[in-house]
Chains A and B, each alone.
Chain A
């Protein structure tokens, strides 16, 4: 990214959001490791924040996204309340899913975030269906479906992309390629390549540096505007890198020695954005203020979550089903 045409204000907003996502996840990780407050597995998107921020910036509040088990960044970027999210990670009342879903099922339908998903690739057909529903209802929303490189090896990838092409649906499939399918190098388990598969299914494909938030934001704005106008699905292959393990307790020793360190030093999207803003005239103190504000915000979210009670036990039977509800039928 060169400084030519650089919009400092927009660039700063992108940094702020990336710092908030990272602070949220670092706070959650500390709460898990040091205090055991986060109860289940959490999957951190540290190092991948630019994809969420760059893509979602061009969406309206009533546009829809679907996400994966690594979904905190997408959810925050779509506008969810970090306090409600942190309560969810702690399994508390007031969590965005009432404490029933946790990190892997985080969702905020109020901002068009139709749910993270614990099953790799499952959200691809669901997202295509959301776009199908938009079209049936005559809406003009766009759907963005985030998934990882590992998802390209499950059937719903083929079925969902084909579906979107067959029915001309307003959806952008975004492959956040972080190189690893859990602990396995995706390339070692993939015949051909992901972008090639999308091309073979007739989708327009863009390949992009997933750690360059400026380029992502610019390209995403063009693509989402085109999808809104044409109603045709597209595919974005964003090359990024997962700086942490698959879960927060995965030391990721399967990676080549020095790989993560090199990626952190050279390609961390937040460090890159800070450098860009520094070159554009912001001081280190101003940039540090952004980071401190994000950390303060997430520390407050954790304190609110820590103080929140467990969910009302009666809610265990709520929202299973209306007909044949366990509240009536259990015995």
Chain B
């Protein structure tokens, strides 16, 4: 198994898929120079500028044109540069791409991967730091994926390119350089969570880079004799309800942790689903997310919005101390 970075794992998946299928192509700003995060470096040399296509700074046209090209038989990978900039193409994604197949009675498909680098990245401030995955999970027609490791970024990218539905693919900017082993024989499966750590005391559900934070928290908890089970959902739609419900039935305790603003965040969906399932909890469930505030430039202010391993561990400690209901 090769060791590679989170960025290179996705790049390898893109390159392999492009070698296998001439219909796959990438389009976005600066791709000819490797993309703003170098996640396309070297691809234009292999595939040429038509298939690794530069684009004007026209997010609506990048998204809309890629959709038009998908309708006539190509399989575009759309690079939005920052998840924040993708908001300039919201009509194209939400009103057009997500709805076309249904509105046209099944006549069209939009096999697209829409890459939106997300999340806090030191001192990038309010317009380059957002985690908006919950918005997209709310939109019928979209698949939503937030991988947290090099292995999953490889395997899920392969799955996303092979998928005939539009996939909103959110890579976390803070972990482009994160290295890990990648088995290139693996293909991801949407709606199948990864068990990052087993444990019988408390279930911690997370995704994207916060899943890595949760795993670190579980390590700290283990040192104190608390066995936390960490579930990385990987995809938010579909999401692995079964894995979460099975785990909570075992532990009786649920923490959901994500970087996005807690209010209206996908953590609420997870907690509500567990509540509706009737699973018996021995402590009230906990949602950890950002306060409903904005990401700052100053590091100390930015950090006030982060969900840390210490916060997750503290929540677990309190749950363990609480009297069983």
Contact = CB atoms under 8 A, between A and B. Distances in A.
Interface of A: 64, 66, 95-101, 105, 107-110, 114-115, 117-119, 122, 124-134, 136-137, 139, 155-156, 159-160, 162-163, 166-167, 318-324, 326, 328-329
A155 B67 CA distance: 17
A260 to B, nearest CB: 32
Contacts of B61: 125, 128, 156, 159-160, 162-163
Interface stretch (B38-46, B137-145, B206-214): B137-145
A117 B143 CA distance: 23
B64 A156 contact: yes
A58 B114 CA distance: 36
Contacts of B65: 125-126, 128-129, 132, 160, 163
Interface string B248-289: 000000000000000000000000000000000000000000
Given A126-B67, A129-B64, A323 B72 contact: no
B95 A131 contact: no
B92 A321 contact: no
B140 A320 contact: yes
Contact of B71 (A126, A136, A323, A329): A126
Interface string B165-198: 1000000000000000000000000110000000
Nearest to B165: A321
A105 B68 contact: no
Given A98-B106, A119-B95, A133-B69, A322 B60 contact: no
Most A Cβ at <10 Å: residue of B25, B53, B64, B96: B64
Given A99-B105, A100-B105, A137-B73, 11 more contacts: A96-B105, A101-B105, A126-B92, A126-B96, A133-B71, A136-B25, A137-B23, A159-B56, A159-B61, A321-B165, A329-B238
A218 B197 CA distance: 71
Contacts of B25: 136
B190 A324 contact: yes
B124 interface: no
Interface of B: 23, 25, 50-51, 53, 56, 58, 60-61, 63-74, 91-92, 95-96, 100-108, 140-143, 163-165, 190-191, 237-238
B104 A97 contact: yes
A6 to B, nearest CB: 37
Contacts of B58: 159, 162-163
B113 to A, nearest CB: 13
B105 A64 contact: no
Contact of B104 (A107, A156, A320, A328): A107
A125 B68 contact: yes
Contacts of B105: 95-101, 107, 319
A319 B106 CA distance: 5
A171 B190 CA distance: 37
A110 B105 CA distance: 13
Contact of A109 (B51, B92, B104): B104
Contacts of A166: 56
A107 B69 contact: no
B108 A133 contact: no
Nearest to A131: B68
Nearest to B95: A119
B136 to A, nearest CB: 12
Contacts of A129: 64-71
B163 A323 contact: yes
A133 B238 contact: no
Nearest to A112: B72
A125 B63 CA distance: 8
A317 B65 CA distance: 27
A100 B95 contact: no
A118 B61 CA distance: 17
Return the 5 tightest CB-CB contacts between A and B, nearest first. A129-B68, A125-B64, A129-B65, A324-B238, A133-B69
7 contacts: A108-B107, A128-B61, A128-B64, A132-B65, A132-B69, A136-B50, A155-B60
B68 A319 contact: no
A324 B191 contact: yes
Contact of B103 (A97, A126, A322, A326): A97
Contact of B69 (A95, A124, A130): A130
Nearest to A115: B104
Contacts of A125: 60-61, 63-65, 67-68, 92
A155 B74 CA distance: 25
A127 B66 CA distance: 10
A105 B60 CA distance: 20
Contacts of B68: 66, 114, 125-133
A323 B238 contact: yes
B107 to A, nearest CB: 4
